[in-house]
Each structure stands twice: as structure tokens, then as C-alpha cells.
Amino acid sequence: MDFDSVLAFIVGVLVIAIGLTLSIGLHEIGHLVPAKLFGVKVLQYMIGFGPTVWSKKKGETEYGIKAIPLGGYISMIGMYPPAKGEKVAASSTGFFNGLVADARQSSAETVAEGEEHRAFYRLPVWKRVIVMLGGPFMNLLIAVVLFAVLLMGFGMPQQTTTIASVSECVLPATSERQTCEPGDEAAPGAAAGIEPGDRIVSIEGEAIDSWAESTAIIREHPREPISIVVERDGTQQTLTATPALSERYELDENGQVRTDAAGNELTVEAGFLGIGSTVERVQEPATAVIPQVWEQTTAVGGVILNLPQRLVDVAKAAFGPEERDPNGPLSVVGVGRIAGEVAAMDEIPIVEKAAGFIGILASLNIALFVFNLVPLLPLDGGHVAGALWEAIRRGFAKLFRRPDPGPVDLAKAVPVTLAVALVLGGMSALLIYADIVKPIALF
């Protein structure tokens, strides 16, 4: 890799790093703004963890940047309520009881005399939910804006009806070879005289407006001669081709490869000419943005639901001979590496690189949105779940005319919070290691 390529790689990594840092900062603003609007005293707004690199106090809040930019937080007073009917006891016996007591004590120490009404736990449930959902909602909003720029501004890559390549031979879809060898069956497209640059006008008398339409007809006519009208150098020519019967990937109605329950790609015997299309970006309408966001959201949700198995696969690949799943989870190191590789590739136009960076940042914000909704502390979803459980308890108490049970004591979940944090730390370490020793290869 020459100096220019190394410099481009570094620029690509920095672009994603800055974009991710801004996304984290805006996530925390999503918490900060409603908290202040609802009167909660916010002591700190920090991007990152570890030692403070820079900070400035404005009003009652300290704003700053930490040394490790892998997250962020705001510090609100009174996150945990005191133990019901008694003061916080820092001398509780037992390791877990001590953790709970320490959490309550730390929370109580943030509440100065006369500021009890500004404690977070004193907010009505609906206000606490808004504060905690403000961060993920900000990431969702960022993703919507970025996808709007990507789809409506840059456009999405779509196959055209113009031929880009013509294969010399017929190779099964699952073949590990990419080159032809003596004895391979000749590709019908080349034999019929189809050339790169030809635009398909019609097949068997049917006008062709998309590559999917031409593919469907070809796949349905194995070993049957078909008439193909192409436009070449401004004039139309009629060619006759006989698609070979070959193992091809099974496609759904959207042209995507079907998979079984285990994620293995399905194949089917179908007609094959051996021609490939050119790809160009086509601008999408505004109505395409939300479906794209939803598609990305459900995809990330699927990864999270299957995360244990995915991590096992990552571990097998990192410590064994298996290859990484290109659709599997990545760490920030892996994302940065992909961005750097995109930036360093001379054959990719600058517009395509910019579109790629926007797509990466949009997907990262979808990941932050979905992951933070997981109902486990210390994630935002865990606080939301606690608030909703409190609303349910108080609702039933009111319905059956029982005494108000008071706020849910999330301090009791501190041991679980630490356990989740350890698991997340281990997961991050595994993904970072895998992205270093066996990175996902997209090119």
C-alpha cells in the first residue's frame, strides 16, 4: 500500500470516527434536553469514558470529552430512590447488598439539600420514559436524515438493462472457481453474440424495463431457444440464445437470494445465459426512506436476537479456520477498517465513497437505536422497562385501592447491571480481536 493509499485509509477511518462521535454526542443531547426541560439537575454531559481530556462548566452542568470515545453519558441527580422507609445504609452486609447500598448512597450524595424535587426518580413515569427514549430517538432521527440524503440525493445502486459483462463459460453458482478451464460448457450469451454495452430491449416479444424482468424470463426457459432484441450502437439487432440449465441461487420477489432457517443460501436449477448488467445509482422518492429505515431496523433486530449464536460463530472464526460472516456483528474497529478500505480504493469514484460513508453512519445509528432499546440495564431500554413496571404496579394499586407502592428501586438491579456490563465488555473485546486477526473481507 503506497503513501496515498495509507493516507486515504486514515481519512476514511477518521471520517467514521468523527461521525460516530457526533452520533454519540447527539444521542446524549437527546437525553440532556428533555431532562433539563423537565427540571432534572444534570451534573455532567460527557462524550467517552475514562480520564477527562477537556471539560467546561456552564451553569450547573459540566460539559466534556473523555479519553476513550466509545460511548457517552449524562449524570442526573437522584437516579435511584432511597430505600423505602429507611435511610441509605452503606454498611449493608453481603457483596451484592453492598453494591446496592453503595449505588443508593452515591445517588443520594448527588442530591443537595433543597433539590430533592429535581431528582430524576421523582419525575412522573411518562417524563422518565421520554428522557430515556430521547437518546435512541435521536439516533433514529439521524438515521432517517442520512438515509434520506443517501436515497434521495445519491440514489441507490440498481441494475440496468445494459450488459456489463459476458461470461465465456457456465459455472454453477456455488462454484469456487471464477475462471474458465478447458472442458467447461460455453456460455450461451457469448455464443449468441451478446456483447458488453448492448441494451436489452425485449425477450420473446416482451418489452424489458428492468434487469429482474430479463432474468426471470431467462431462468424460465432452460434449453429453449429465445429471441432477444438488443440495441447496439443506436440500432436494434435480434439475437437467438438457448439458456443452459445450471445451478443458480434461488431468488425471492425482490431479487434477493433466499436462505433456509440456518442462513444457508438456496439453489435451484434454472436457465442461464452468462450475462451481467451495469449498475447505476437511481434517486429514490421520499416515500422510500422509511421502508429503508425499517428494513435496516429489522435486520439489526434479527442480529441482536441471534447474538449468542453469532458471537459463537465469530469466536470460531477468530480462533479457528472458519471465515467471518459478512452479515455478522462488527466492532468499531471493524467498521473503521471497512471505511478505510473503501477510502483507499482508487477504482471507487469519490461520489461512491461519500455514499458509502453516509450508508455506514446511517446503519451505525440504526444499530445504536435498536441496541439501546434492549430492556436490560445499563441500557436505556432497561430504565424504560423499570419505569413502565412502576406504572403497572401503581396502576394496579390504584385499581384495587391499595397503598401506593412508590418508585421501582432500580438500585436492586445494580448487580445485574454490572453483569450485563461485563458481558458487553467481553463481547466488545471478542469482536475487536476478531476484527483485527480475521477481519470481514468485503472486497
- Say how far residue 160 (Cα) sits from the centre of its chain: 28
Q: How do beta strands 244-249 and 235-241 pair?
A: unpaired
Matching residue, cell 447505476:
280
The DSSP code for 403 is P
Matching residue, cell 428492468:
210
Asked whether 414 and 94 are in contact (CB, 8 A), the reply is: no
**What is the chain's Cα-based Rg?**
28
- Report the C-alpha gap between 339 and 324 in whole angstroms: 18
Asked whether 112 and 133 are in contact (CB, 8 A), the reply is: no
What does each C-alpha distance from 440 to 299, 319, 434, 435 come to in angstroms? 18, 14, 9, 7
Distance from the first to the final alpha carbon of the chain: 15
352 carries an active-site annotation: no
Matching residue, cell 429471441:
227
Kindly compute the dihedral angle of the four CA atoms of residues 347, 350, 356, 360, in this order, to the nearest 10 degrees. Answer: 120
Nearest C-alpha neighbor of 424 from the set 366, 365, 382, 379: 379
Burial grade of 102 (CB within 10 A; 0-12, 13-18, 19 or more): middle
Catalytic residues: 28
